[in-house]
Amino acid sequence: MSNGLKSSLRKRDQKRGLPPGTVLYVGKERDQKPRMQLLAYDADSVSETELPSLDALPAEGRPGEIRWLNVDGLSDVALLENLGRRFDVHALTLEDVANTQQRPKYDLFDHYAFVTFKMLRMDPDNPKAIIAEHVGLVLEKDLVLTFQEAPGDVFDFVRERIRSGQGRIRGLKADYLVFALLDAVIDGYFSVLESLGERISDLDAELLGRKPSPKYLREIHGLKQQIIFIRRCAWPLRELVNSIQKMRTELFDEKTDVYFRDLYDHCVQVIDNVETYRDLVASLTDLYVSIAGNRMNEIMKVLTIIATLFIPLTFVAGVYGMNFQDMPELRLPWAYPAVLLLMLAMVAGMLYFFRRKGWI
Amino acid sequence: MSNGLKSSLRKRDQKRGLPPGTVLYVGKERDQKPRMQLLAYDADSVSETELPSLDALPAEGRPGEIRWLNVDGLSDVALLENLGRRFDVHALTLEDVANTQQRPKYDLFDHYAFVTFKMLRMDPDNPKAIIAEHVGLVLEKDLVLTFQEAPGDVFDFVRERIRSGQGRIRGLKADYLVFALLDAVIDGYFSVLESLGERISDLDAELLGRKPSPKYLREIHGLKQQIIFIRRCAWPLRELVNSIQKMRTELFDEKTDVYFRDLYDHCVQVIDNVETYRDLVASLTDLYVSIAGNRMNEIMKVLTIIATLFIPLTFVAGVYGMNFQDMPELRLPWAYPAVLLLMLAMVAGMLYFFRRKGWI
Amino acid sequence: MSNGLKSSLRKRDQKRGLPPGTVLYVGKERDQKPRMQLLAYDADSVSETELPSLDALPAEGRPGEIRWLNVDGLSDVALLENLGRRFDVHALTLEDVANTQQRPKYDLFDHYAFVTFKMLRMDPDNPKAIIAEHVGLVLEKDLVLTFQEAPGDVFDFVRERIRSGQGRIRGLKADYLVFALLDAVIDGYFSVLESLGERISDLDAELLGRKPSPKYLREIHGLKQQIIFIRRCAWPLRELVNSIQKMRTELFDEKTDVYFRDLYDHCVQVIDNVETYRDLVASLTDLYVSIAGNRMNEIMKVLTIIATLFIPLTFVAGVYGMNFQDMPELRLPWAYPAVLLLMLAMVAGMLYFFRRKGWI
Amino acid sequence: MSNGLKSSLRKRDQKRGLPPGTVLYVGKERDQKPRMQLLAYDADSVSETELPSLDALPAEGRPGEIRWLNVDGLSDVALLENLGRRFDVHALTLEDVANTQQRPKYDLFDHYAFVTFKMLRMDPDNPKAIIAEHVGLVLEKDLVLTFQEAPGDVFDFVRERIRSGQGRIRGLKADYLVFALLDAVIDGYFSVLESLGERISDLDAELLGRKPSPKYLREIHGLKQQIIFIRRCAWPLRELVNSIQKMRTELFDEKTDVYFRDLYDHCVQVIDNVETYRDLVASLTDLYVSIAGNRMNEIMKVLTIIATLFIPLTFVAGVYGMNFQDMPELRLPWAYPAVLLLMLAMVAGMLYFFRRKGWI
Amino acid sequence: MSNGLKSSLRKRDQKRGLPPGTVLYVGKERDQKPRMQLLAYDADSVSETELPSLDALPAEGRPGEIRWLNVDGLSDVALLENLGRRFDVHALTLEDVANTQQRPKYDLFDHYAFVTFKMLRMDPDNPKAIIAEHVGLVLEKDLVLTFQEAPGDVFDFVRERIRSGQGRIRGLKADYLVFALLDAVIDGYFSVLESLGERISDLDAELLGRKPSPKYLREIHGLKQQIIFIRRCAWPLRELVNSIQKMRTELFDEKTDVYFRDLYDHCVQVIDNVETYRDLVASLTDLYVSIAGNRMNEIMKVLTIIATLFIPLTFVAGVYGMNFQDMPELRLPWAYPAVLLLMLAMVAGMLYFFRRKGWI
């Protein structure tokens, strides 16, 4: 987790001194070549093409056809600039697409709208790791461009719906596709939150049931870092969806208004959950600290009881182990049992004292 | 409690990939068939009917008659969709009705208003558990639809008032019924808060009176979780009532304005109480930690006093237990009493030291 | 204190199921019959009457006369409803008057203004207890109605001024009387805060001077609860005074504007003080915890010094107390003094070590 | 410090029951008679007069002359009321002048503006004490009245500038004089903050360098109280300067706008510094607590090492000090050296264990 | 770090009593003479001149030429005043330029705009120290003046771009130069944040991997202070950039709007990161405290196990070391092995007890 945060700043420094608007890929080096998939559809037909290069992309779609071009991999700057020229995208937008540290935002240009955000999902290889991917999205008339850092995303459900024609997606315009993609992203947030929720719930059960181990602390610390991270992604996402609703443009039809309102509600719910988890984890931490303090008290009590019982007895034994020639008690026949009785009485007194203190 | 929070996220994942507007029951599986009750009334008459199926529902009510249809159980999706078609309810609304994780909200559509919220009440079987139920409410002209997860609610008082004709309810329109139902919901919040208040007050008394046990910590932890949960329900409820006041529609008559203003005041009061309880519980936690620290100090003091008194004495006894052949003191007849006196003097010195330190 | 908070919720439950607007006395049961006092005055004359019943109240005052009717005791619901009918007061207002848990608020009706708030004063019988009383106030033209839970209030100064004709009160209208009453209420807050301030200052002195006892913790806990309680009363009071300034009505003359502005300043000052006290008490708690930790450190140091000094010495004595037949040292004549010297050297080494650690 | 806070509430109670607008001196009793100084100047001339009584004040200044009348001492109520009548000042203003607990505020009346605030400076006799003085200021056309609790202020620099004619002050109107006075007040805040800053910096150095003593805790506690106090003075001061900018009146010339904007920036900077200090002191407290905890750990480690090394050895010695007749080992000639070797081996084992634990 | 905070207040006191608008250098004394560099460019040509004195500055630039005059060193007040007269800059602006404690702000005057801010960069000589420099910037038509405390800045990348003609800078106006400079400043913030991020990440790794040392605490404390400091610089910087966008003037062309919007996004991102780091460091502190507490528990456990095992055994040995003449056990031949067995049994019992407690 913290590595993710670290790397999210490390690469930015490469940009220092470059003129603003320079497109520079700022992200983890990935060696694979970018992949481009084109999904073109209208109410009646769907076609999917894997594009070997940008030249393979038809200049225009058929009338009424919606085209979704997804690019996996941001490291090929020339490709991005090519795309920018082809679809008339501003250099600052391309800069934001390539800069994987860019904060989520919504920007409106003359003939297109630009959205960038973080896509979250659980790492399939590590049930406790979150994969965050920077995604850029450009909406033009009948065209949606999406840019991802690497293959693998949360959009498969959307693709499936386009292919099968299920739901409204085939009958509506490109703005609805944008909504569907954002909705899939937020569903991804929910699924990440669900995983967090289960881990919090497990910690809760463990804390109340068994002895908490130091491993427990690290787990809580990791949860806190992940919650900090998700908050940082979710708050600007909410702003972003809000901006889409506020800064109206003809790219978004009035008919999709109700869907974006719904999306906004989901964003608020994500944030609600994150804040709730923050409070719950804080409460767990408090509880852990108190329980650890209790255990300390218990340990100290055992030590104190043992020491308080035996140290005085040992002293008495020590006294009668002294080698003075003139110790009259030593010669009395009943002295030994008497001393043993005295010791017993001391123990009884101590135990009474402990009981009154409420220690045993 | 935490189970509630957990499950509130777990089921949502089933929805991933479904097109928005798909009605899917997201909640605890409940096997019972939905129950439908129709309560129709005007100023002069009341009729109550248990509907076996939707077909038994008359197409229209008599003129001036208010009809309240209550549905217990959200798992029968076909029924919901049927109802949606019959009363012209948007698919997104039905989705929110069926999604028990939906955040409380108020939405205005062309010919109806939709409200969803959480209904809280104490579990009759467990005096410390809170039952939270997702409720959806649709207000159309002369018609109110309510959807609940399961039988059992806080609306019985409202039903009773309709039956008996007590108060204004029979003389006013459907908007007043909505107010009366929301008012009953908020009364439920107050009754839950009252129970929390008593538990806080009991903890307070226990903490000041007796020795706090670890059980105490768990009780506080549980209270914190419940307060976090209620906050999460109450804040959006306030927003919701505020929205009803702000986003006016002809469905709400001006005459009920004063009642919704009152309702809003009650919501604010609920939140006031929740925040106060949060502060009180935080103060209790601080106090507990300090008291536990005090107890630790006390235990350490006893240990230190015992050890400090006897360890030096034991050493002295040890010295005269050594077996050197040439220890002249051992042969002096007054040596033994002298050593005992020396020990007494050491004890006296220690006790003086402790008293000056304020330990005894 | 916590009992007050507890009871403030307990009784509300009785209201569940009653139609909104039902007047129900929600407060501590008080057996005494309500008392009604009428104070009528104009610039030239004052008359005070104890009313045996509502019938004794003249229908109208003389022209230009201001009438202030004070009711002590809210348990006689019939009386309240009677008054409501007589002065045309809305049922919801009467409900708020009788509901002692009602949050402070300001409401404007057609021909009257309604204010409800908490009146605070120190308990004359217990220098650390705060008495909070629910007060309702109705302002009509030339008429002020006040409703209190029980006899005893902070209004005596106002009555005295009316009687003596001191200040502006006799020359101005009923709105100025309302101002004077609210001003008296806020003076009551200041006097409660002054008492808190002294207790905080005493705690501060005690903490810095003497050894803090566990009693200290309870005192701080009690202060926190009272500060939480006063905050909860004072913030809505400020809102209320602000609303009076904002929601202007002809009931309030422009000439009293400057007085309500002044009142608002006083409310802000109350809140300022409460927040300052909160911070001060938090700082005291931190200090207490640190001082307790310091004491623990000191105790541990004493224990460690004693144990570290004597445990090794006791071991050496133990070695020469062993009964092996073949221990050559035991027979050397200078062995005993040598061992004693060795022990002294060990003590010296330890003391040097402790001094270097800065422990002694 | 806390005494200051205490007294700031104590005296207010004397006011209870007096009609609003009663001028009552609420502050520390000071026996000296009020002093009045008149400073009259225009672009060409300056005259300074110590006024023995109000009668000595000329009715009007010369045309174009600015007059600044400073009153030291608020206890002579008759004088205040006299001044009020003479310069037509509202009774509520005089009340605020005399009430040293009044919160900083800005009020605009028909022909004058009223400002009241706290003047802070370090006590020349105690390098850690802050002197806070209540100051009232009335601005009329060509006239400034200032009221202070006691002689000694931060205005000497302003007086000097008027006398010497340095800067713009002699060429501008009375509003610039008000600005110059407020600027001097804020410079006083900076000088107090500077002193706090040095103390925080010294604490920081002490904490990192030497062993923190309990004195340290009290110093931090005192700093916290002072920061709480300065915050309480500075925030309303900012509001006040903001109000002067917002609620424009002809008393303030447009030309001084830029100066008040500057003043506002300084207020913001004061608050910035206070908040920064708050955070720094909080961080110091955390660090102190952690360091104290570290010392505890170290002490415990020493104790544990000593006890763990010697307690088992002492036990072994004890075994061979037993007096059983039939202990064959005792008679073996090599037994004693063997036991000593065993003990050495035990010590070595322990040391190895401690090193693996990282304790030594 | 704290020294920086300290000095930032110390010098201000020198200003007390000077009339507002007095230009006084408030900063660290630096003996070097101010350096002036003039960079003049248009689309076709660039010229760089090191100015020996102000007289060497040509009165006007060539038409269409942008001139950037950078002054390193603020201690030569005469020079500043000279520049002020030459370029018609208000005395208050010069005061803000020279006052290195000035809070970041944006001010608009008749014919120029003034911006002041903090420039942050890592100290090249100390990888953990941040260098903060006060920079003032005046934008007039075709002219930019920058004032720095000392040589060395983050502007070299901008200079390089002007020289090489890379990017848009040579083709646009002076407002774009201002943007480029601010952009370089914010890139400096990112580079500082990156360094912080790495240190946080290193601390995180150290805490989870190895034993945390007290050095660790100091490192965290230093980080907290630096984060407090950066926050204090970054928040007003955001406000400042926002003001530039809001308070439009003809000095800023509409075409640079999109760049300042971008700049604002970067400011928000800086603040986002700072707040995230604050949360992460807080979480690290919590974790450290918990781990230290765990270590304490572990130490106590070892002590308790050792003491609890051996103290009772030592007592038993002590009993049979007593010298009573009549101790029948001592004479039994099997007594010694029996006692050894008893001791073994005691150890076994203890170990069982510890295991049940979960201590071993």
* pLDDT tens track for B249-294: 888 888 888 889 889 988 998 998 999 999 999 888 888 888 888 8
Inspect the interface and report whether the beta carbons of C190 and D12 lie closer than 8 Å: yes
Over residues D298-326, mean pLDDT = 89
Query: Considering only alpha carbons, which residue of chain A is nearest residue B313?
Result: A315
Q: Does domain A301-357 match CATH 1.20.58.340?
A: yes
Q: What is the pLDDT of residues B288-338, one digit of tens each?
A: 888 888 888 888 888 888 888 999 999 999 999 999 888 888 888 889 999
Which of A211, A229, A340 shows the shortest C-beta gap to E358? A211
Q: Does residue D8 carry a pLDDT above 50?
A: no
Average pLDDT score, chain E: 84
Distance from CA of D70 to the nearest CA of E (A): 18
Cross-chain residue pair B6–A301, CB shorter than 8 Å = no
Nearest residue of A to residue E296 by CA position?
A: A296
The C residues from 48 to 67 touching D (CB cutoff 8 Å) are none
Pick the residue from chain D with its C-alpha nearest to E96: D262
Q: Do D291 and E225 touch (CB under 8 A)?
A: no
pLDDT of res. C9: 37
Instruction: Please name the residues in contact with E161: beta carbons below 8 A apart, sequence gap of 6 or more.
Output: A17, A19, E167, E169, E180
Side chain identity at residue C183, one-letter code: D
Nearest-CA distance D315 → chain C (Å): 8
Q: Which two tokens stand for residue C244?
A: 């009076």
Sequential DSSP letters for D20-40:
TT----BS----SPPEEEEEE
The residue-averaged pLDDT of B105-133 equals: 88
Nearest chain B residue to A194 by CA: give it: B9
Q: So what's the pLDDT on residue D4?
A: 38
Tokens 């006075």 -> residue: D181
State how far Cα E321 lies from the chain centre. 68
Q: Could you say which architecture CATH assigns to the domain B298-357?
A: Up-down Bundle (1.20)
**Residue C170 in this model has a pLDDT that exceeds 70:** yes
Positive/negative CA dihedral, A258, A263, A267, A273: positive
Token pair for C282: 């938090």
D150: how many CB neighbours lie within 10 A of its CB?
18
C23 has a pLDDT exceeding 70: no
D149 CB-near residues (< 8 Å, 6+ apart): D27, D28, D30, D72, D73, D74, D100, D133, D134, D135
Q: Which of D301, D304, D326 sits opposite E333 (nearest CB)?
A: D326
Q: What pLDDT shows up at residue E19?
A: 62
How far apart CA E67 and CA E64 sit, in angstroms, is: 10
Segment 10-49 of chain E within 8 Å of chain D by CB: 10, 12-13, 15-22
pLDDT at C20: 63
- Test the E interface: residue of A99, A102, A103, A297 with most E CBs within 10 Å: A103
Confirm or reject CATH 3.40.640.10 for domain E2-183+237-264, answering yes or no: no
With an 8 Å Cβ cutoff, is E7 touching chain A? no
pLDDT at C157: 84
Q: Is the pLDDT of residue D341 over 70?
A: yes
Confidence band, pLDDT 50/70/90 cuts, at residue D60: confident
- Lowest mean per-residue pLDDT among B150-154, C169-173, E320-324: B150-154
Within this chain, domains B2-290 and B298-357 share the same CATH topology: no
Q: Kindly list the partner chains of chain D, i.e. chains with 3 or more CB atom pairs below 8 Å.
A: C, E
Q: Which residues of D touch C227 (CB under 8 A)?
A: none
Residue D360 tokens read as 């030594």
Residue C147 DSSP one-character state: E
Task: Give the integer Cα–Cα distance in Å for A45 and A40.
Answer: 8
Q: Note the pLDDT of residue B147.
A: 94
Interface test with E, best of D211, D227, D283 (most E CBs within 10 A): D283
Is there a contact between B97 and B147 (Cβ–Cβ < 8 Å)? yes
B204 touches chain C (CB under 8 A): yes
Query: ∠ at Cα A100 (A95, A106), nearest 5°?
Result: 65
- Pick among E189, E191, E220, E323 to test the A interface (most A CBs inside 10 A): E323
Q: Taking CB atoms and an 8 Å cutoff, what residues of chain A touch B293?
A: 293
pLDDT digits (tens, 9 = 90+) for D26-38: 555 555 678 899 9
- Taking contacts as CB-CB distances below 8 angstroms, the residues of chain E near A211 are 358
pLDDT tens-digit map of C103-161: 888 888 888 999 999 999 988 888 888 988 999 999 998 999 999 988 878 898 899 88
pLDDT digits (tens, 9 = 90+) for E35-64: 899 999 988 889 999 988 888 887 777 888
Identify all chain C residues contacting B318, using CB atoms and an 8 Å cutoff.
313-314, 317-318, 321
Distance from the Cα of C3 to chain B's closest Cα (Å) equals 7
Which positions in chain B touch C229 (Cβ < 8 Å)?
Answer: 276
Q: Is C9 on the interface with B (CB under 8 A)?
A: yes
The residue ranges of every structural domain in chain C are 2-290, 297-357
Q: What is chain C's length?
A: 360
What's residue A267's pLDDT? 92
Closest residue in D to E13 (Cα) is: D191
Q: Tell me if A19 and E198 make a contact (CB, 8 A cut-off).
A: no
Least confident of C27-41, C303-317, D78-92, E54-68: C27-41
Backbone dihedral region for residue D197 (phi beyond 0: left; psi -120 to 50: alpha; all else: beta): alpha
| CA dihedral (B184, B188, B191, B197) positive or negative | negative
| C165/D contact by beta carbon, under 8 A | no
Residues near C95 by Cβ (< 8 Å), separated by ≥ 6? C20, C21, C22, C23, C24
- Give the model's pLDDT for residue B8: 39
How far is Cα A278 from Cα A286, in angstroms, rounded to an integer?
Answer: 12
pLDDT at B3 over 70: no
Of residues D96, D70, D94, D76, the one with CA closest to residue D32: D76
What is the dotted CATH code of the domain comprising C297-357?
1.20.58.340
Between C209 and E243, whose confidence is greater?
Answer: E243
Residue of higher predicted confidence among B347 and C164: B347
Give the pLDDT score at D212: 63
- CB–CB of B312 and C322 under 8 A? no
Contact D187, D154 (CB under 8 A): yes
A318–B336 C-beta distance less than 8 A: no
CB contact residues (below 8 A), chain E span 214-233, against chain D? 214, 217-218, 221, 224-225, 228-229, 232
Q: What is the pLDDT of residue E212?
A: 63
The crossing angle, in degrees rounded to 10, of helices D77-87 and D91-98 is 140
Cα D23–D27–D29 angle (5° rounding)?
A: 105
Span D105-111, mean pLDDT? 86
Cβ-defined contact of B214 to A296 (cutoff 8 Å)? no
Inform me whether the C-beta atom of residue C164 falls under 8 Å from chain D C-beta atoms: no
Average pLDDT by stretches of 10, chain A with 360 residues: 37 52 58 84 90 82 89 86 89 87 85 92 86 92 91 86 84 91 92 90 79 77 90 90 84 85 90 91 86 82 88 93 88 90 94 85
* Nearest CB to C13; choose among B194, B259, B314: B194
Query: In this complex, which of B160, B183, B311 lies closest to C310 when CB atoms are compared?
Result: B311
Mean pLDDT is lowest, of C50-64, D69-83, E233-247, for C50-64
Phi and psi of A131, rounded to 5°?
A: -100, 120
Task: Provide, for chain C, the percentages of residues in helix, strand and coil under a 3-state DSSP scheme, each rounded to the nearest 5.
Answer: 60, 15, 25
HSE-up of residue A33 (Cα within 13 Å, Cβ side): 6
Give me the percent of chain B exceeding a pLDDT of 70.
Answer: 89
Task: Evaluate if residue C2 carries a pLDDT over 60.
Answer: no
Tell which of C5, C290, C315 to mutate to test the B interface (max B CBs under 10 Å). Answer: C5
- Chain D nearest-CA distance from E56, in A, is 31
Of A279-283, B354-358, C291-295, D7-11, which gets the smallest average pLDDT?
D7-11
- Say if domain B2-290 classifies as CATH 3.30.460.20: yes
SS3 C168: coil
Q: Is D243 helix (H, G, I), strand (E, B) or coil?
A: helix
Mean pLDDT in residue range B230-255? 86
Classify domain E300-357 at the CATH class level.
mainly alpha
Give the pLDDT band of residue E16 (cuts 50, 70, 90): low
- Give the best residue of C118, C277, C291, C302 to mutate against chain B (max B CB count within 10 A): C302
The dihedral region occupied by B151, where left means phi > 0, alpha psi between -120 and 50, and beta the remainder, is: beta
Partner-chain contact E265 A18, CB within 8 Å: no
Does D301 contact C at CB distance below 8 Å?
no
Yes or no, beta carbons of B169 and C292 under 8 Å apart: no
pLDDT tens track for B5-50? 333 333 444 455 556 666 655 555 555 678 899 999 988 889 999 9
CA–CA gap between residue B195 and residue B230 (Å, rounded): 13
CB contact under 8 A, B300 and C299: yes
Which CATH superfamily groups domain D299-357? Magnesium transport protein CorA, transmembrane region (1.20.58.340)
Q: What is the pLDDT of residue D28?
A: 59
The predicted model gives E246-274 an average pLDDT of 86
Q: Give the separation between CA B188 and CA B151, rounded to whole angstroms.
A: 16
Q: Are A15 and A26 contacting, i.e. CB atoms less than 8 angstroms apart? A: yes
